[in-house]
């Protein structure tokens, strides 16, 4: 229960006019009109989360926790049981995330590999009908730059190019 360890004494102290730097990771960029837009890194990260566990990108979990906290505040739910339920839910999500982290790695490798490793056009994507790239480095896979989908190919096989 890490949030129980947070007190007013260990919160960072800010005064009016202090700037807080949130762009160190470069997940967003400032667009015209002082609007924020995602960078390629930010989009790839969210797409990776969506591939592994779509619930991580939706407000449903946050909303459920807020509802449970409201019930605790009203005395209609037990604090200990709510905390245990939420912790169990996140332990399961973390475990599933770790088991599927290779999906995130494959997406990042396909998106950010140097041009020399970016593969050649091989097949059309079934979703957007644009050409995908064949990435021959192990594990061999197809990557759709438009949909940001990675399709793993059978390993230790050969791929023949046919002209039609």
Highest mean predicted confidence (pLDDT) among 89-98, 114-123, 151-160? 89-98
Residue 106 has pLDDT above 90, yes or no: no
Residues in the chain, overall count: 164
Pairing of strands 35-38, 120-124: unpaired
- Better pLDDT: 67 or 18: 67
Can you give the three-state secondary structure of 40-90, one letter per residue? Answer: HHHHHHHHHHHHHCHHHHCCHHHHHHHHHHHHHHCCCCCHHHHHHHHHHHH
pTM of the entire structure? 0.54
Domains and CATH numbers, the chain: 25-102 (1.10.460.10), 105-152 (no CATH)
CA torsion through residues 91, 43, 113, 29, sign = negative
Confidence at residue 150, expressed as pLDDT on a 0 to 100 scale: 82
């Amino acid at each position: 229960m890490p949030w129980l360890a947070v007190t007013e004494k260990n919160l960072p102290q800010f005064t009016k006019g202090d700037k807080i730097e949130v762009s160190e990771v470069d997940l967003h960029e400032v667009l015209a009109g002082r609007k924020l837009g995602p960078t390629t890194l930010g989009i790839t990260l969210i797409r990776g989360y969506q591939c592994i566990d779509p619930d991580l990108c939706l407000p449903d979990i946050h909303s459920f926790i807020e509802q449970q906290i409201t019930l605790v505040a009203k005395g209609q739910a037990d604090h200990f049981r709510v905390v245990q339920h939420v912790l169990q839910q996140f332990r399961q999500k973390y475990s599933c995330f770790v088991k599927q982290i290779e999906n995130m790695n494959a997406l990042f490798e396909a998106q950010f590999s140097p041009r020399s490793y970016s593969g050649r056009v091989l097949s059309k994507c079934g979703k957007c009908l644009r050409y995908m790239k064949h990435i021959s480095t192990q594990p061999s896979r197809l990557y759709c730059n438009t949909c940001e989908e990675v399709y793993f190919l059978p390993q230790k096989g050969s791929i023949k190019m046919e002209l039609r």
